[in-house]
Amino acid sequence: MARLPSGRTFPVAVNTSSVAVITGNKAAAEAARLARVEVIAAYPITPQSGVVEALASYVEAGMLDAEFITVESEHSAMSVCIGSSIAGSRVFTATSANGLAYMSEQLSWVAGSRLPVVMGCANRAMSAPWNVLNDQQDSMSQRDHGWIQLYCRDNQEILDTFLQAFRLAETLSLPVMVCYDGFILSHTVMPVDVPSQEQVDSFLPPLAARTILDIADPRNINPVTLANPRKNGNSVLCHGYMEFRYLMQQALDKALTAIVDVDKEYEEHFGRSCGGLTWSYALEDAEVALIAAGSLANEATVAADALREEGIAAGVLGIRSYRPFPDARVAQELKQARLAVVFDKSLTYGYGGPIYVDVQAALYRHKGTAEVHGYIGGLGGRDINAHQLSGAVQESLSWMKQEQAPKPINWLNLQL
């Protein structure tokens, strides 16, 4: 068995896979290579640049048969993905922060076109002021475009999640954004079990293109669509704008089941699971749940262990699928907890942390009883350690004993 920095273990299959000590960016590139992507739209931006640099070397060395298209901007990168995906190719790109924001218009176009585009986001702070370090503001600010968003806790999960993302995207006809913390994961080396090409081919079949391209039968792609259904030139009643949005919502609802199913099938092929919608640590008997996404949730496991040494039954709920948000799963996992402490590395300005807000809504919808407290931390790469996380839990427990009013949003390690 091999061991990850998080303490998780995974089986290493003899002669079918190999363990490599690689960065998160390299893990993302390896996954794209193993997925046999056919078109790569490349525009570098810190801290994502290593992904497309690695893929460029694979194409140059003949290790990957793909069109490597360098573009002048992130907006153009997603435009290449749109055209290539419509033409029936398996496509890939990656970005970060302001580059993702520059793609924003095209993100809606991809989702509305129901294209199975897979993109990596090495999470980075948004400017201004200028900052290239990690938080999750970039991807979470783009949550309402209709993309599936999956968050990774370590480098093994980056590789595994990208491979699952292609299956999900092509099954549901929805784009998938795989998010992982910039520098904390993108530039940190960890042992990663890299499966063989044969193993991946058995899990991920070639893309079955669904778009009709025929010179003799030309089609318009995404013409102007009015509010109400109307007949086309062949007298076929076609959807109005709202019907398209309804169908997108239905597909994202189906993703709640598909994410779990694909993860289970992945485990059957490779012997390891990412947890599906969420993952948990010591949560079975926990009265206090620490909740976060990405590598911060891994740090929370250390805090939970420290809290248990002090006699506090603490556990961790890691959010893997942020969109669609697994409200029923979250409510079920928190059924026995009396306190849920949510740590966000992002901010919904004027309200609070986005995960905090969604956890509150989930418990309200499913009649959960846990009290929910929210903390903002790690913005712009500000350090968060297990001691600070456990201290926040202690603060919340003290508040529950002394106060009747709802606890305000707090900021970790804020220095004014």
Position 298 in a domain = yes
Q: At what angle do helices 24-34 and 155-172 cross, to 10 degrees?
A: 40
Do residues 198 and 304 both lie within one domain? no
Residue 174, Cβ neighbours under 10 Å: how many? 24
Do residues 308 and 178 both lie within one domain? no
Q: Rounded to an integer, what is the distance from CA 401 to the centroid of its chain?
A: 36
Residue 218's pLDDT band (boundaries 50, 70, 90)? confident
- The number of distinct structural domains making up the chain is 2
Residue 206's pLDDT band (boundaries 50, 70, 90)? very high
Do residues 198 and 290 both lie within one domain? no
Of 267, 294, 316, the last residue of a domain is 267
Residue 410, SS3? strand
Average pLDDT over residues 388-395: 98
CA dihedral (291, 297, 298, 302) in degrees, to 10, reads -40
Do residues 32 and 154 both lie within one domain? yes
Q: Domain span at residue 93?
A: 2-208+260-267
Do residues 34 and 181 both lie within one domain? yes
Position 239 in a domain = no
Do residues 49 and 156 both lie within one domain? yes
For residues 219 and 53, which has the higher predicted lDDT (pLDDT)?
53
Express each pLDDT in 117-170 by its tens digit: 999 999 999 999 999 999 999 999 999 999 999 999 999 999 999 999 999 999
Express each pLDDT in 11-33 by its tens digit: 444 346 799 999 999 999 999 99
First CA to last CA distance, the chain = 47
Q: Rounded to an integer, what distance in angstroms lies between the CA atom of residue 355 and that of residue 344?
A: 6
> Hunting for tokens 């979250």 — which residue is that?
330
Do residues 30 and 173 both lie within one domain? yes
Q: Rounded to an integer, what distance in angstroms lies between the CA atom of residue 159 and that of residue 4?
A: 13
For position 7, what pLDDT does the model report?
A: 54
Do residues 174 and 290 both lie within one domain? no
User: Can you list the alpha helix ranges (DSSP code H) found in 117-189?
Assistant: 137-140, 155-172
Position 134 in a domain = yes
Q: Rounded to an integer, what distance in angstroms lies between the CA atom of residue 251 and that of residue 247?
A: 6
CATH number where 6 lies: 3.40.50.970
For position 222, what pLDDT does the model report?
A: 82
Do residues 203 and 292 both lie within one domain? no
Residue 221's pLDDT band (boundaries 50, 70, 90)? confident
Position 352 in a domain = yes
For the whole model, what pTM was predicted? 0.94
Position 224 in a domain = no
Sheet of 39-42: strand order equals 67-70, 39-42, 91-95, 118-123, 176-181, 148-151, 321-323
Cα angle value 23/28/29 (rounded, 5°):
95
Q: Rounded to an integer, what distance in angstroms lies between the CA atom of residue 306 and that of residue 309?
A: 5
Q: Which of 102, 68, 96 is nearest to 84 (CA)?
A: 68
Q: Which of 341, 335, 407, 328 is nearest to 377 (CA)?
A: 341
State the DSSP code for 352: B
Contact between residue 280 and residue 314 where contact means Cβ atoms under 8 Å apart: no
Do residues 182 and 287 both lie within one domain? no
Of 221, 245, 267, the last residue of a domain is 267
Instruction: Compute the mean pLDDT over every residue in the chain, rounded to the nearest whole number.
Output: 94
Query: Residues 184, 190, 193, 197: is their CA dihedral positive or negative?
Result: positive
Residue 216's pLDDT band (boundaries 50, 70, 90)? confident
Position 204 in a domain = yes
Q: Which of 349, 156, 149 is nearest to 255 (CA)?
A: 149
Do residues 18 and 161 both lie within one domain? yes
Position 373 in a domain = yes
Position 255 in a domain = no
Q: Rounded to an integer, what distance in angstroms lies between the CA atom of residue 81 and that of residue 337?
A: 44
Average pLDDT over residues 35-40: 98
CATH number where 288 lies: 3.40.50.920
Q: What is the DSSP pairing of strand 176-181 with strand 118-123? A: parallel
